[in-house]
Structure 1
């Protein structure tokens, strides 16, 4: 069957098979984690879905700081300055409890109460379908197998042509098949990197970023005219940089690097 067609026709069949295998892999990726349940996401949970524990804790500390519940002390320590806001997220309360004893940012992330709260947060996100379970992640990874199978067929044709002396077509067909096999393997390898978030989480992040596009750092919002909720939402959706514009000293104390969080447009402008 591998040798009953000419080189160009085999390439056409190969590309058709790759397209089908790629469609299967992408469909499995998009369908897995499509449905969710439970209460709507909080700002802290959105931050976790966007950039995991570090950003979630930064949003939590920004919540406390804006409410006057935390202050910067000596030797780069943070400490409690007042009660947490009413109806705070569990992670925010855990951060507040941990700061009853002054701690640095690194020590705060390692605090047992904070790590327990983060584990519960992850558990809720997995239970409600926002984060993928190990079984769902394996399913997405296995969905890339057809791509590797198609690449294997192409490699077999090339190898048998070289070893047995059968023709795989002209030089252009051989080089084209070799390049297509390499691209197929690389594409399958790239798709094997399974995201932690489900399709619903990725969908809601895209929707929220579109809805709050005016808060993106590239738009340079006037934060003096914005409220706390808008600041926290901007941090959760676009990263921690908005806090640098509001309170650079506090931002530095909680691990926000103004240069590393600089939007691409700003970074390129600086290089020029």
Structure 2
């Protein structure tokens, strides 16, 4: 019997080890990307944190559309017929430049100018701490190793008892340890899915969703009574569904899928 401990005592020690390893993993997850610097985020940058480049471009084009700049053309094309609004974000200006000739949504996303601005946007978010660097993501993944180490100890106890014919405790202790080992491995595997955003970005997204809770799609707000100042932030943190309500034809042209409007990061930011 590993370390000469009885089944119930070993199980209690195992659970204490799991609690410590989980505390380490969650602490690393919280501390990586805790601080940020630089200027406050624009609506387009907030949209990028929520669902990356596509949502950021959708929000940027929605800003141009609400300003009366974007026109819908034939063959699913978009174009502009006026200058961009003053003090527009760089991505909004790049989208405007791409639409000086009629373009489809796919062509806009592939435009070199839009790509350059998106790369600069990502560089700024990484530099200021909103997005994690590869090294930070590796550190977060390594923080889950203590969980797997504890699981290995528990499985070693079970295997040692089975192979050597030693007593690992009563059936309840053996089954309890086996279930705890499986739960530990699954928990470690779940925590190995490292987000691209730092903890500061996830806090910001949660705070923005609380601030704009009345605009959440599940509350079915009356978008016809809302202005651009509410539409764009709601898109930035909840996804493009509001655009379907106010401008369904335009939403379709910019790739908004009515069946898949929930951002990838919507659930992950709670972790």
Fold-level similarity (TM above 0.5):
yes
CA RMSD of aligned residues (A): 1.4
User: Are 1:77 and 1:104, in contact at CA under 8 Å, matched by a contact in 2?
Assistant: yes
User: Are 2:34 and 2:200, in contact at CA under 8 Å, matched by a contact in 1?
Assistant: yes
Give CA-to-partner distance per residue, 1:183-221, whole Å, 9 cap, x none: 111110110110011111111111111111111122222
Equivalence map 1:249-264=2 (5 Å): 249-261=249-261
> For residues 24 and 165 of structure 1, do their structure 2 counterparts lie closer, same or farther at Cα, with a shift above 3 Å needed?
same
Q: Distance in 2 between matches of 1:109 and 1:209?
A: 27
Equivalence map 1:49-198=2 (5 Å): 49-198=49-198
TM-superposed CA distance for 1:262, in Å, is: 7.6
Greater RCO, CA 8 A, separation 6+: 2
Partner SS for 1:75: coil
Partner SS for 2:2: coil
Poorly superposed stretches of 4+, deviation over 3 Å: none
Give CA-to-partner distance per residue, 1:14-57, whole Å, 9 cap, x none: 01100110011001101111111100010001101111111101
User: Are 1:3 and 1:168, in contact at CA under 8 Å, matched by a contact in 2?
Assistant: no
> For residues 190 and 262 of structure 1, do their structure 2 counterparts lie closer, same or farther at Cα, with a shift above 3 Å needed?
closer
User: Are 2:244 and 2:256, in contact at CA under 8 Å, matched by a contact in 1?
Assistant: yes
Q: Distance in 2 between matches of 1:191 and 1:202?
A: 15
User: Are 2:148 and 2:188, in contact at CA under 8 Å, matched by a contact in 1?
Assistant: yes
- What residue is the counterpart of 1:269 in the other structure? none
- What is the number of residues matched between the two proteins? 263
User: Are 1:79 and 1:99, in contact at CA under 8 Å, matched by a contact in 2?
Assistant: yes
Partner SS for 1:79: strand
User: Are 2:239 and 2:261, in contact at CA under 8 Å, matched by a contact in 1?
Assistant: yes
User: Are 2:2 and 2:160, in contact at CA under 8 Å, matched by a contact in 1?
Assistant: no
- What residue is the counterpart of 2:20 in the other structure? 20
Give CA-to-partner distance per residue, 1:67-95, whole Å, 9 cap, x none: 12211111111112211111111111111
- Pair 1:202-2:199 in alignment: no
TM-superposed CA distance for 1:261, in Å, is: 2.5
Q: Structure 1: where are the runs of 5+ without partners?
A: 264-272
Q: Please give the TM-score of this superposition, normalised by the length of structure 1.
A: 0.93
User: Are 2:238 and 2:262, in contact at CA under 8 Å, matched by a contact in 1?
Assistant: no
Q: Distance in 2 between matches of 1:262 and 1:247?
A: 18
- What residue is the counterpart of 1:30 in the other structure? 30
Q: Please give the TM-score of this superposition, normalised by the length of structure 2.
A: 0.94
Q: Distance in 1 between matches of 2:217 and 2:186?
A: 34
User: Are 1:43 and 1:233, in contact at CA under 8 Å, matched by a contact in 2?
Assistant: yes
Q: Distance in 1 between matches of 2:166 and 2:85?
A: 75
TM-superposed CA distance for 1:226, in Å, is: 1.7
